[in-house]
């Protein structure tokens, strides 16, 4: 998703950091939290349309002004900002491609087909549970939570919406499964990064990670199972499902053969084809499916969007809707294309700018070094590591930095206390990887919110696996459970 080599460079210590006081380092974060909190109160979910981006710019300006007064040169700050944005460029390109993918899969009948057959397969009582299980398996095989959400997640969120479930709950289950698989897959970039930064053998890291990850996912699955049975089956489920399927069949040429398209994309990702070209192939296949199987639909849409060529182009870059006459279904049969991802991309760019200023000024390093100086015992060390991971996700807005920065900082501390490095690598994954998706302005939080169409703060309370994982690793540390010694 991003260039780890660039991230490494951006995370380097700034010599001037020791000259800063802690309260000065905290001022930009306080400004950011106050503005973001007020934005949520005033704008709600619509705060991502510009208010939060503006808050990040203002907080970055406060950090930059403070840093300039302390003697940091503007060109140094700007260089780190540009490096951070460059590191986020692959994520931005993937987001644009996902927007195009969803649009072409809509007019190609692929998403409607997945919804149609999904409604037949899924039992509403275990739907939330099934979402978590399916994305867990897919993410282990694919090795990427992002690709899992962009393919399987898009279909599951649509099915859940049709069944009448809270979108935040469905998205939380999708993300929980996606991050479980992302953590344990040997194909995952974060899994390889955590083991590489700490010098731990990859499979030693994965085996040690299962000690906290398996209990966390089991608790999560039990919770989703209970929630499914408590919510039960909506009274109008059968009639609603039948009506939805009838409207889908009326507007699209549905066929199981259309499921070959997402299968091809998943196969390419499994075969380690990079996400961007794999998704682009999915876009091309979506266009082909529209021309071959959905020609009557395309002709119908020409009344609104122009000729056939314009309809397809509109699906790629802009908003396009298929009107069925059912308000709930019409919302599902609408795509924003690439343009629909621009708010998310804007958020990522401003977040990386804020993170760049915090790094270049040495404020992030000052805060984390202060944490280390107050560490006592194994539990305290793991807690400080976890806090640094979360702080980096919040301030630097990047999950790779949340692995690299604490990994570099704490390696010596773990060694001096006689702890095996896999304790550190596990903590980085349990606290750095999974909390990134809970921060609205982090690249991960912004990505999943954009792809699934659910605000980060709406799904965060339901992403139980991501919430439990940090506490599980802290429990193991403070209770001295399976703490490996060097």
Mean pLDDT, residues 154-170: 89
The pLDDT, as a whole number, for residue 15 is: 42
pLDDT tens figures, 462-485? 999 999 999 999 999 999 998 888
| Confidence label for 411 from pLDDT (cuts 50, 70 and 90) | confident
The pLDDT, as a whole number, for residue 355 is: 85
| Confidence label for 10 from pLDDT (cuts 50, 70 and 90) | very low
Q: How far from 419 is each of 347, 412, 425, 482, CA to CA, in Å? A: 39, 10, 11, 11
Produce one character per residue of 179-211: b if its CB has 16 or more CB atoms within 10 Å, e if not.
bbbbbbbebbbbbbbbbbbbebeeeebbebbeb
Question: DSSP H helical segments within 165-201, as ranges?
Answer: 167-184, 189-198
pLDDT tens figures, 94-126? 889 989 998 999 999 998 998 888 888 888 888
Q: Taking 90 as the threshold, does the pLDDT of residue 284 lie above it? A: yes
Distance between CA atoms of residues 289 and 394, nearest Å: 41
Neighbours of 417 (CB within 10 A): 14
Give the residue, 473 or 193, on which the prediction is more confident.
473
3-state secondary structure of 320: strand
Mean pLDDT, residues 419-431: 94
**Entry field: residues in the chain:** 486
| Confidence label for 328 from pLDDT (cuts 50, 70 and 90) | confident
pLDDT tens figures, 33-90? 898 888 878 887 677 788 888 998 999 999 999 999 988 899 999 999 998 888 888 8
**109: alpha, beta or left? (left if phi > 0; alpha if psi -120 to 50):** left
The pLDDT, as a whole number, for residue 458 is: 93
Mean pLDDT, residues 424-439: 94
Mean pLDDT, the chain, rounded, equals: 87
Mean pLDDT, residues 419-446: 93
| Confidence label for 330 from pLDDT (cuts 50, 70 and 90) | confident
The pLDDT, as a whole number, for residue 239 is: 58
Q: Bridge-partner residues for 320, per DSSP?
A: 335
Span of 144-153, 217-226, 233-242, 363-372 with lowest mean pLDDT: 233-242
| Confidence label for 16 from pLDDT (cuts 50, 70 and 90) | very low
pLDDT tens figures, 199-211? 888 889 999 999 9
Q: 368 is written with which tokens?
A: 């984390």
Q: How far from 103 is each of 19, 321, 328, CA to CA, in Å? A: 51, 9, 18
Question: Which residues are CB-neighbours of 208 under 8 A, at least 6 positions away?
Answer: 200, 422, 423, 425, 426, 484
The DSSP secondary structure of 79-136, one letter per residue, reads: HHHHHHHHHHHHHHHHHHHHHHHHHHHHHTTHHHHHHHHHHHH--GGGHHHHHHHHHH
Mean pLDDT, residues 170-179: 96
pLDDT tens figures, 133-145? 999 998 988 888 9
Tell me the pTM.
0.82
């Amino acid at each position: 998703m991003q260039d780890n080599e660039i991230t490494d460079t951006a995370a380097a210590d700034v010599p001037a950091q020791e000259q800063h006081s802690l309260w000065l380092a905290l001022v930009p974060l306080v400004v950011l939290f106050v503005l973001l909190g007020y934005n949520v109160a005033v704008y709600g979910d619509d705060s991502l349309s510009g208010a939060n981006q503006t808050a990040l710019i203002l907080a970055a300006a406060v950090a930059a002004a403070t840093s300039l007064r302390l003697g940091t040169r503007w060109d140094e700050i700007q260089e780190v900002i540009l490096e951070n944005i460059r590191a986020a460029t692959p994520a931005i390109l993937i987001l644009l491609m996902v927007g195009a993918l969803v649009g072409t899969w809509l007019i190609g009948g692929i998403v409607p087909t997945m919804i149609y057959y999904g409604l037949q397969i899924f039992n509403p009582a275990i739907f939330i549970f099934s979402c978590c299980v399916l994305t867990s398996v897919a993410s282990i095989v694919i090795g990427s939570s992002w690709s899992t959400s962009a393919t399987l997640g898009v279909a599951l969120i649509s099915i859940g919406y049709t069944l009448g479930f809270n979108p935040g709950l469905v998205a939380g289950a999708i993300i929980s499964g996606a991050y479980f698989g992302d953590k344990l897959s040997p194909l995952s970039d974060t899994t390889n990064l955590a083991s590489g930064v700490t010098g731990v053998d990859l499979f030693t890291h994965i085996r040690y990670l299962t000690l906290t990850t398996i209990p966390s996912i089991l608790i999560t699955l039990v919770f989703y199972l209970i929630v499914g049975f408590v919510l039960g089956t909506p009274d109008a489920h059968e009639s609603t499902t039948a009506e939805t399927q009838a409207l889908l069949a009326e507007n699209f040429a549905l066929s199981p053969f259309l499921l070959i398209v997402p299968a091809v994309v998943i196969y390419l990702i499994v075969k380690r084809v990079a996400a961007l070209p794999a998704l682009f192939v999915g876009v091309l296949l979506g266009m082909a499916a529209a021309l071959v199987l959905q020609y009557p639909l395309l002709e119908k849409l020409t009344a609104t969007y122009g000729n056939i060529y314009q309809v397809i182009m509109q699906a790629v870059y802009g908003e396009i809707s298929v009107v069925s006459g059912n308000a709930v279904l019409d919302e599902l049969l609408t795509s924003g294309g690439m343009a629909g991802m621009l708010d998310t991309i804007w958020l990522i760019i401003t977040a990386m700018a804020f993170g760049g200023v915090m790094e270049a000024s040495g404020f992030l390093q000052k805060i984390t070094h202060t944490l280390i100086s107050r560490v006592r015992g194994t539990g305290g060390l793991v807690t400080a590591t976890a806090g640094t991971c979360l702080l980096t996700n919040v301030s630097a807005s990047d999950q790779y930095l949340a692995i690299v920065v604490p990994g570099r900082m704490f390696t010596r501390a773990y060694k001096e206390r006689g702890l095996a490095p896999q304790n550190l690598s596990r903590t980085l994954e349990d606290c750095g990887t999974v909390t990134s998706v809970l921060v609205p302005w982090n690249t991960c939080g912004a990505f999943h919110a954009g792809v699934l169409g659910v605000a980060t703060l709406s799904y965060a309370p339901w992403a139980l696996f991501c919430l439990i994982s940090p506490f599980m690793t802290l429990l193991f540390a403070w209770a001295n459970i399976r703490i490996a010694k060097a």
